[in-house]
């Protein structure tokens, strides 16, 4: 009985060590950065779905990550702080856009480097920005406009030139 307990303990320790090894490998190769690089920031009108840990990409390649999001109390815009790899020197006229990986994918910041010869220094702001586009708002507007079209009486013209019974004016 004593030997069996020792074998069970040894097996349990081996399983724990293997599990710890897999966990360490997964963390090391997950693609998440630890925030190394130089910090930059930008203001956006909407950052729906973007948060700390989100990617920062150039041409689809991850070059950094979002480190902080907050509301600027003076402008009521979203202030986003992020890092960019030290090896990448961005021109001063770089643009930042919040986009998504797909219809149901996560959000990330896409950087579009400009052509200015002056480069951004750590802590500077990217001023050319475009916030995220909300799919829910776009669908809501579409459904609302379709509902308005369905409620118009037939033959009302629907904003088209001419009235019922008349043909539209001829183009010259």
Across residues 91-119, what is the average pLDDT? 90
Q: Is residue 137 classed exposed, middle or buried when 0-12, 13-18 and 19+ CB atoms within 10 A define those classes?
A: exposed
pLDDT at 15: 92
Q: How far apart are CA 64 and CA 128, in angstroms?
A: 18
User: Which of the four pLDDT bands, split at 50, 70 and 90, describes residue 2?
Assistant: low
Mean pLDDT of 51-80: 94
Instruction: Please state the separation of Cα 124 from the chain's center in Å.
Output: 20
State the average pLDDT for the chain. Answer: 83
pLDDT surpasses 60 at 166: no
Question: What percent of the chain shows pLDDT beyond 70?
Answer: 81
Domain ranges of the chain: 38-136
- Higher per-residue confidence, 113 vs 172: 113
Position 79 confidence tier, pLDDT thresholds 50, 70, 90: very high
What does R_g of the chain's alpha carbons equal in angstroms? 27
Per the model's pLDDT, the better-predicted residue between 133 and 161 turns out to be 133
Share of the chain above pLDDT 90, in %: 51
CB proximity list for 162: less than 8 A, separation 6 or greater: 168, 169
How much of the chain is helix, strand and coil, in % rounded to 5?
25, 30, 45
User: Which token pair is 100?
Assistant: 């998504």
């Amino acid at each position: 009985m004593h030997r069996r307990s020792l074998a069970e303990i040894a097996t349990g320790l081996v399983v724990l060590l293997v599990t710890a090894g897999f966990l360490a490998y997964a963390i090391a190769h997950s693609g998440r950065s630890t925030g190394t690089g130089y910090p930059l920031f930008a203001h956006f009108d909407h950052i729906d779905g973007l948060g700390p840990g989100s990617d920062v990409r150039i041409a689809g390649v991850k070059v950094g990550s979002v480190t902080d999001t907050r509301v600027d109390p003076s402008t009521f815009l979203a202030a986003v702080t992020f890092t960019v790899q030290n090896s990448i020197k961005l021109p001063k006229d770089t643009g930042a856009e919040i986009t998504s990986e797909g219809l149901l994918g996560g959000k990330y910041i896409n950087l579009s480097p400009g052509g200015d010869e002056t480069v951004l220094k750590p802590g500077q702001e990217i001023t050319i920005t475009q916030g995220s586009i909300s799919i829910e708002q776009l669908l809501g507007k579409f459904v609302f406009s379709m509902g308005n079209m369905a409620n118009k009486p037939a033959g009302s013209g629907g904003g088209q030139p001419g009235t019922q019974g008349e043909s539209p004016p001829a183009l010259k």
